[in-house]
Each structure stands twice: as C-alpha cells, then as structure tokens.
Structure 1
Amino acid sequence: MDKVILITGASSGIGKTMAIYLTTKGYKVYGSSRTPEKHGTEVFPLLRMDVNDVASIYNCIDEVLKKEGRIDVLVNNAGAGITGPIEEIPDEEIRRNFNTNFFGPLNVMKSVLPSMRKNNGGTIINITSLAGYMGLPYRGIYSANKGALEIITESLSMELKDFNINVVSLAPGDFATNIAAGRYHAPVLKNSPYELPYGNILKSINEHVDDGEDPILVARQIEKIITSEKPNIHYKVGSFLQKFSIVLKRILPDRIYERMLLNHYKL
C-alpha cells in the first residue's frame, strides 16, 4: 500500500521539489499552500492551508483524510525567513515569524495526531534548519524558532513512542530556493548602531542567495527517512562545512566558537 504524504508549503522551493520527487517514486502526495490557485501543479494535488489559521489546518487535513482515510507521513515544511537586529525587528514581525515557523507546525502536528494514533502509526518530519543549532547574528529570531522546533521534536518523539509514531527533524543548510522572496528583512536604518554590520550581512545574504545546494538532496533524505524502520531523531543536510560547524559548537569553548562565527560574518 502506497504511503499517503502531506507536505506543507509545497508550492515552491524545497517543498515542491520533495513533492514532485516523492510522487515520481510512487507515493500518494498532497501538498499545501496558502494560495493553491496561484501555484497549481498537475504532478500532485495542492490543497489550501495557512499554518497560521487553525481552521485552515483542520480543513486541509480533513480533506486528505476523507479522500485517503489516512495520512502516513506529515512533512512540516512551511516556513519563512527573517533577518534583522533583534532590537529593531518590530514585535509583530517576530510574532508572525514564530507563528509560521513554530506554532504553525505545532498545530499541524496536533491536528494530524488523532488519525495517526487511530491507524497505529505514522511519521512526522519537521523541516528545521542548521541555523536552529546556533544563534546567528542578525538571524536570531529564525535560529530561535527553528531551534524550538528541534526541541519539540525530541519531546514528541518520546511522548508518541507508544503509538508507533516517529517524529524526526531534518535540518537543511543553504539550498538554492526562492525562500529569500518571502523573507522579512528589517530595514537598514540610517544612523542605527547596526547600520554598517547588518547592512553588510544583508548584502552578503542577497549576493549568495542562489549559491546553495540542490533541493533534491533534501527530497532524497526525506525518502530515506520514510523507508527507515527506525529513523533517527535528527538529520542534517548541507555542505560539509555547514554540518561540521555544529560539531565544532559541541567541542569548542563558547567564546572561541563565537569568535569563529564573528570572523565568518566579518563582524
């Protein structure tokens, strides 16, 4: 029996790539988007879901359950980027980003769990970020909510073990997607104490936005997780140096690691 997979945020980027890839591998894939009418695809059905709207989440999941009777795999992929000095990012933008990157995925998980328990099994894959393993300058809000999703993954993995439900995280590094188009950039304020360092980092981010790796690598890792009898709790996909930076964080003294990051970002 082919697994039924629901992927949030599947209208573009990594989500769309994994949805197309898994469909070609024979899985029954449903994607979700806030505006499916703008991003329709003939390869897989794209349903309406806004992860910031609980009613929208329930409606989307209910639609899949009515059509298929089950959801075997949930891929929590919908998310949004945010940059800026923490002191200067408007509170409403911070809350909006946490709603999209943390509370949204949390509510999607809570909505799909009753059906997974009823079917005595399932897999939840939370797409986090390598940035969630460390506090990055001018990306602190993003690092914080992705890190929170990593920790929730660990807690749920233990809480759901008796129901044969696997909960794992997959943390990508930099990939060539259109995430920058939907990212909130706090403006570089004239005469701000952060004007020069933040301006330089923002310029660097924009210059290297297309230099990431191929999203197909994430899609292939998703399939490996789905087909694993006992998947790990955490997975990481990215360049060697990006993944190695997490190892260094574990073994280096805090201030030395901080200096390494400051040097990397030329701060």
Structure 2
Amino acid sequence: MAFKKITEQPSLYNNLDKMPVAELLENINNEDQKVAIAVRQVIPQVATLVDGIVERMKKGGRIFYLGAGTSGRLGVLDASEIPPTYGMPQGLVIALIAGGDSALRIPVESAEDDPNKGWEELQGHRINELDTVIGIAASGTTPYVVGALAKAKEAGILTGAISCNPDSPVAAMADIAIVPVVGPEFVTGSTRMKSGTAQKMVLNMITTATMIRLGKVKGNKMVNMQITNAKLADRGTRIIAEELNIEYEKAKVLLHLHGSVKKALEAYKATE
C-alpha cells in the first residue's frame, strides 16, 4: 500500500471564510468528535507500548519523546506535567523538540530536517536499552524523528511512534506504531487541530497508565503529587481526610508534617 498523507488531504468543508462563526464552530466540533473514535482503535498498540515502558522503568529506564513543531510541543507538555502530578523525579520523562527549547515559543521550522540531530541529542542523555524512545509526528515523515527512531531501534532500544498517517516512515521505524487516523483537517493540512488532539490523547494514555502501573495512584487519587500551591495542598488535604476518615484540619497538619499525601497516609497508618 502506497504511503498517502491523509493529514494533507483537502478539508471536507469548503468556503470556510464565508461561514458564520457558529457554523465554523459546529463543524470544528463535528470533526473533533471523530478523534476519540480514532484513538479508541489504537488502544491495543498503546497497551503494548505501556507494558514495555513499565517493564523498563521498573529497572530504571526513562521515556524520551521526540517531535517537531506542534508534535514536539505536545511531548514537552506531557513530560513537564509528570513530576508535579505524580511526584516523579525530573529526568524520567524527557521531551526533545527540534530546534531546542526556543522552538517552544518561536518556530524553528528547518530544525526538523536534520535526520541525525535527534539521535545526537539522545546520546547526550546517555540513552540505553532500559529506555524507550517515542517519536511524535502527525505527518509521519519528520526527518528529525525518523532518523532518531532508526538509530534507537538499531541500538536495541524500544521504540514507539505516534502519527496520523498509515504506513508512514515514522511508523515503519518503530517497534510499536500508534496511528489514530483522524482524517483530513478542518483547515486543510492544519495538523495542530485533530491530529494534535489525537496525539495529546495518546500521550495522556501512555503516561497516565504508566504512572498507575508504577504505583503512583492509590484508588483514583494522585497520592504522589507535589504540593506546590494552595490548590494542591487543599486537594491533598481532602484526599487524606477522606482516606483516613478524619477531620480536614487534622489532615492538613499531617500533610504539612510529612510533605506528601502518600507519606502522610503511611505514617498515620503505621501508628494505628
């Protein structure tokens, strides 16, 4: 089957510039509803990747995301949220974006065309066989991502790819290809829309399921979250109060004494 960029196909809608705002929004929403359905179809591949990640992270492995443009920014977003949400140390989920951190705000479009740069950056982190490399590319053709995945695979490192075009070069270079096919974008070729949403949903699934399997969630609570502001302190206090069936103020004292929900629960239960 020949590789065809579905993400670059013409929009199913014409004359967008003549549509009333309400109609524009309704049609965008109609297209967005297709995303969750597409993501559901790739759950088996996501599950296989998560199992591989968990097995490796239990032995000290890390997750590396690579992407350019919107895809790279989504990887950085997901990676940056893991330490505060789950109390994981910095450096266990690492996102690399073509063009470096400056590309988060100011596009560095040509940076993605170097097929060697991604692997060079991974080597700077002393990547090894316990790690997992996940390439993120809506089009599935980004040289920065394709080149890094090829080298990682050669080195015996588990590789995954998230793209929205079947049979893409990125998918071919990954051990586990995750391909939610969301169809043409509302604005032709604007992959920050449905493709970006699909990628974000898959990234949420990967890291959330991984953190749960690593014991960072108790019941349905984020017991390892970092208490870095008043909102999180309140949430942590309520979790402790509910879990131990004690008053809010007593739970608040426990949280501040021990510094985390998990430690507070463990300390309290040890005295019972």
TM-score in terms of structure 2 length = 0.37
Question: Normalised by the size of structure 1, how large is the TM-score?
Answer: 0.38
Larger radius of gyration: 2
Using CA pairs below 8 Å that are at least 6 residues apart, which structure has the higher relative contact order? Answer: 2
Structure showing the higher strand proportion among its residues:
1
